[in-house]
Structure 1
């Protein structure tokens, strides 16, 4: 009985804490129209479980289904959050990433925040990274 209360309390704290992860969506969902538009002129060349954070020049939230990490102007990585979407992701928000290995990996959590205020909108577990290169 005690474990049941602990599980209920944990579930309630995740709801109150604003967990931004939408577990009911598919991990292999196709890229959204907005993400496809942002990737115009690029083609997928492979996947990776991790990318070195030291090589990331910038990151950009496209919508709840895609984050673009720019390595160079010719090379990008797209991450679709685990489960296919993260409801807290919006263009006007930012990501806070805490890592200990120097790499950003699938299933790492990124916290979604509102930059001008201390408001947090939960955390999203990352999915696999898809590498894109500029078309020749």
Structure 2
């Protein structure tokens, strides 16, 4: 390898190495990510259960909560006991017994890379954050 090729390789490695701390620093905390997700919404009265048929998607928010998005746009936030086990790179495995996700359920976490169990958490109340109403059209 020529000297100027080596310099190019080292420069590329240095550039990659220098961006890693920036990416880690720019990543939002779990609380900040949750706040951004529910921004502009108002919390409703907590509920014990959410029917599985209404849930369109789920998202683990690192060390904070699980967000269940319903088909009507409502985001149900569950802050489980043991939230420190939540890793946004884990796969959430739930086994509802009555067609609902409920506050007494325990959900398992599977490491996405190794496919090994990485923990479990007990669900608490689901706090609904309905989609804000659309402003009336002018005219």
**TM-score, with structure 1 as normaliser:** 0.69
C-alpha distance in 2 between matches for 1:120 and 1:74: 31
Q: How many residues align?
A: 104
Residue 129 of structure 1 pairs with residue 121 of structure 2 = no
In the TM superposition, residue 116 of structure 1 has moved relative to its aligned partner by: 4.0
**Structure in which a larger fraction of residues adopt helix:** 2
Tell me if structure 2 keeps the 8 A contact 1:61–1:89: yes
SS in 2 for 1:87: helix
RMSD of aligned C-alpha atoms?
A: 1.7
Matches within 5 A, 1:1-136: 32-72=31-71, 74-82=73-81, 85-136=82-133
In the TM superposition, residue 34 of structure 1 has moved relative to its aligned partner by: 2.3
Where do 4+ consecutive residues of structure 1 move more than 3 Å? none
**Structure in which a larger fraction of residues adopt strand:** 1
C-alpha distance in 2 between matches for 1:118 and 1:94: 9
C-alpha distance in 1 between matches for 2:78 and 2:130: 14
Gapped regions of structure 1 (runs ≥ 5) = 1-30
C-alpha distance in 2 between matches for 1:59 and 1:42: 18
